[in-house]
Chain A
């Protein structure tokens, strides 16, 4: 199962090899050209000699994670987040450490031993450590070195009514949508870029867009969702099971109105549910792509992801399927000349 394999693979920002190898194996039989750039982004090209417009589709391979920054005499390890993590939720979580994927537990001082004032504040990074069961620094160093990475150990499971949980739907769900899409045939030149280092500042996407110089770009994301109890409508951002979310304004992008309008019309015509992403917070690779070179017409299609940037993220598999359908419908419409963009509009 694609989503299980993808979400359980280890891929901190800058350490995406495992994910890249998995995607490469899955995509290679369908690819015309395959290559990586010097940052590690994986490119899959199809029909590059077909009549345009050339469409770049991207999803990022990296996930929020941790780096080991020090090992204490006790064998307990100090760590720092790679990407945006809410430090308050880390205590007692299980992680996988280093290349070998050793189990570790994020520990802290026991609640019984905390002073009253300590209990009143969430634990901070300096009060947390990763415990791999080593009894000394020397023993820990036989398995782990400073600079090694760690990820949440959550496995993929399907839960409830067509939902699933995993550690990394942001953005392996986007990678899965791209993989399903690249197995289909379109009479368009298509570049699928599985980008790196999105979580630490959209670093992989700009070189990918510069290199491929597409006419149109579509980014697939797992995006923030807060549809729990007591959240007013204007605080939700997105809702699970209401279809893929289309971004209008976020922290790094104001949408290209005509392309956004086109995508929403395609969704309506194909009876695919969609929703607007109703927050200006957060960003995705569109922020880097649309400002590349002379400007690139771009859009984001996102799968609402509850508890994003946390150990157990939850999505609706129906939203996932609808995102796959929407991407296909949009590419079909472009294939049929339904969206034309002239870069120099007189």
Chain B
């Protein structure tokens, strides 16, 4: 069940650049559902099915990827009072972080974001923010935190209805849960490589080296995309619970008709309702997979989420399940 994978994954926080916690959980879990499991120097985790099948026996190598990382924060300074200064890694607006709780991955330290007084809200930048980890002084803080430590927004994932979850920055865990389920379900004849990538938030750095390594005949990126089914939404095309979105284009690439039509055929074959994703403001690993080596045919299947802000992403379980069915049809 996708939900079960998601429930296991949802507590694993994975800041961009320090995805180790999720990577080690994945490596352990994947051993039971894939033939080969390994990690590369950036920290991408690979799971391969049918790795030693002769090329004459398989139609093609298909790579499915999902990113493990969340936008994060890094510590750039610790002051005498034990307060931390941070910078954002990813698309953060400093003002939105006032009062948020952060979780520092290395030591699982919790911090609260404060702001210097006398700064107008509209002018708040990262240099005005500090993080309070309830340290007595610098020495006390340094017991738990070092310059360069990475954090994510802290917060629980909760059930809103039997079908809808909400939590901060769910994109990575939603995508990874779908990929795990496909990997487990697929009884495929093709060589299939599942890649759990790192550092998507800083320009798909993990995906770039992964695509070079795998050199697949087809790559499909699993990620989330923004719903437009809320009041006065600018682009009211995608809706929660209406099925997976097959990528037409996003901010990083335009999907070739042959690739997107193949995914549409899979959806039709599997009897899965789907939506068409035209999201010019959404980033994904797609381009990094696409422009590797001589060019890798690349498409995407996205899960529609309502994203009020980074703190509250909503996801519908049916969309995840249908994405699994679609992708399983593709790789079989």
Contacts and interface: CB of A to CB of B under 8 A. Distances in A.
Interface residues of B, number: 27
A343 interface: yes
A234 B41 contact: no
Contacts of A276: 147-148
Contact of B76 (A256, A280, A345): A280
A235 B16 CA distance: 23
Interface in A252-311: 254-257, 260, 276, 278-280, 290-297
Contact of A290 (B42, B44, B79, B212): B42
B76 A294 contact: no
Nearest to A292: B209
Contacts of B85: 233-234
Interface residues of A, number: 27
Contacts of B17: 249, 254-255
Given A294-B40, A343-B40, A345-B38, A233 B213 contact: no
Contacts of A260: 148
Contacts of B79: 233-234
- The B interface is mostly helix, strand or loop, or mixed, namely mixed
A75 to B, nearest CB: 45
B41 A233 contact: no
B147 A293 contact: no
B205 A291 contact: yes
A256 B199 contact: no
Nearest to B23: A345
Nearest to B106: A257
A341 interface: yes
B139 interface: no
A346 interface: yes
Contact of A255 (B39, B40, B87, B148): B148
A344 interface: yes
Contacts of A85: none
Nearest to B88: A280
B41 A295 contact: yes
A248 interface: yes
A278 B87 CA distance: 10
A19 B103 CA distance: 48
A234 to B, nearest CB: 4
A234 B89 CA distance: 16
Nearest to B79: A233
A295 B89 contact: no
Interface in A217-269: 233-235, 248-249, 254-257, 260
B201 to A, nearest CB: 10
Contact of B147 (A256, A278, A296, A343): A278
B18 interface: yes
Interface string B8-52: 000000001110000000000000000001111110100000000
9 tightest A-B CB contacts, nearest first: A248-B148, A254-B17, A234-B77, A234-B85, A295-B209, A295-B41, A276-B147, A294-B213, A280-B87
8 contacts: A234-B127, A249-B148, A254-B17, A254-B89, A276-B148, A280-B89, A291-B42, A292-B209
